[in-house]
Structure 1
Amino acid sequence: MLFHYHFWTPYVEETEKFYEDNGFRISQRIGRYQGEFQEFNPPLKWEDFREKNILFRIIEARKGTINITFGYGKRIMFDHIGFLVSDKEREKICENAVKLSWKVDKRERRTFISTPYHFRIELQTNTDVVDSLNSKINLQELKLETKKAGLESDLLTLFGTSKNRVYSEIGDVVTIKQAIINNLISSPIVDPNGVRIINE
């Protein structure tokens, strides 16, 4: 199940406000402050720490079966998309990634697959990364911009199905152009990192 995307962005506070204004719950904020990583999770608000010069590594916004994360970067940079899978599905997808000669990085909490399209794919088996598996609010589809053709056929090989709901168009940058989200209040809207969100 497609559930996730991650950006690096200079617009960290603006991105958080955008998703919060559209009904997402901020569940986590982790940033480097005075040389070490610390948590600045809600109920803390930006007024409580804005002047502290925190370098945010990750801020997590959740709604239904969707988990969107972002952290500080000097420029907007799309990093990865994520899928919730079973242990069995993960093993098969990893085998397929090896056949494609894609690098697989298995970690304790999640697995990352590096693609030749200059973004990564996260495989997540822990269902606690979303608020509800039964919600009607979900990430229906993503349209990516990539610099080379072939993504759809490679994803078919990787997942063994065309139901991964990720599509692409050729362009000058690697990013997410559009996300279709079920049961979102506003539509269409554009987040601070250029992702056009459509309610379906």
Structure 2
Amino acid sequence: MLFHYHFWTPYLEETEKFYIENGFRISLRMGKYEGEYQTFNPPLDWDNFREKDITFRIIEARKGAINITFGFGKKVIFDHIGFLVNPNEHDEICNKAREMSWKVSSNDRRTFIGTPYGFRIELQSNLDAIDGTTDIAKIEELELFVENGEFKKDLSQLFNKQADNIHSFIGETSTINKAVMSGVLISSKIDPNGVNVVRKGN
């Protein structure tokens, strides 16, 4: 199940505000401050730490079965999309990725698969990565720009099934152009990183 995407961005506070306005909750803020990684989670808000020199590694926004993360970058860079899979699916997908000569990197928490498209694919088997069920909110479709190749075809090969909720088009830079979601509040609006978040049914 498609559940996640991640960007590096200079627009951290603006991005957080956007997703809160869409009904998301902020579950995590972690950044380096005075040489150490620390958390600045709610109920703290930006007025509590805006003036501190914090380099945020990750801010996490959640709603239902959607998990969106972003961290500080000097410019907007799309990093990865994520799928919730069971352990058997995880192993099959990793084996297929190796057959395709895509790099597989795993740790105790998650697996990343490198693609030739300038971004990664995350495989996540821990259900605590989401807040709830798809009845509350989920990513229905993603529309991506990729620099070259046939990402949708390769994704279908990787997962051994048609990637019906992923659409890809050739663009100058690999990024997410549109995210169709159920359970969000705003009918259609572009986030600070260029993702057009559209409520399903518009």
The TM-score normalised by the length of structure 1 is: 0.98
Following TM superposition, by how much is the alpha carbon of 1:101 offset from its aligned partner in structure 2, in angstroms?
0.3
Q: Distance in 2 between matches of 1:128 and 1:7?
A: 21
> SS of the residue aligned with 1:152?
helix
The residue that corresponds to 2:190 in the other structure is 190
The residue that corresponds to 1:154 in the other structure is 154
Residues matched between the structures, number: 200
The residue that corresponds to 1:101 in the other structure is 101
Following TM superposition, by how much is the alpha carbon of 1:88 offset from its aligned partner in structure 2, in angstroms?
0.3
Q: Distance in 1 between matches of 2:190 and 2:116?
A: 27
The residue that corresponds to 1:110 in the other structure is 110
Structure 1 consecutive aligned stretches of length 4 or more whose deviation exceeds 3 Å = none
Following TM superposition, by how much is the alpha carbon of 1:67 offset from its aligned partner in structure 2, in angstroms?
0.2
Is the contact made by 1:127 and 1:133 (CA closer than 8 Å) also made in structure 2? no
Q: Distance in 2 between matches of 1:129 and 1:46?
A: 24
Computed over aligned residues only, the root mean square deviation of the Cα atoms, in angstroms, reads: 0.9
Find out whether 1:4 has 2:4 as its counterpart.
yes
| Deviating more after overlay: 162-171 vs 50-59 | 162-171
Is the contact made by 2:155 and 2:163 (CA closer than 8 Å) also made in structure 1? no
Q: CA 1:50/1:183 → structure 2, altered by over 3 Å: closer, same or farther?
A: same
> SS of the residue aligned with 1:101?
coil
The residue that corresponds to 2:90 in the other structure is 90
> SS of the residue aligned with 1:89?
helix
Following TM superposition, by how much is the alpha carbon of 1:165 offset from its aligned partner in structure 2, in angstroms?
1.7
> SS of the residue aligned with 1:141?
strand
Find out whether 1:78 has 2:81 as its counterpart.
no
Paired residue type of 1:126: N
Q: How do residues 39-50 of structure 1 correspond to structure 2 at under 5 angstroms?
A: 39-50=39-50
Following TM superposition, by how much is the alpha carbon of 1:186 offset from its aligned partner in structure 2, in angstroms?
1.1
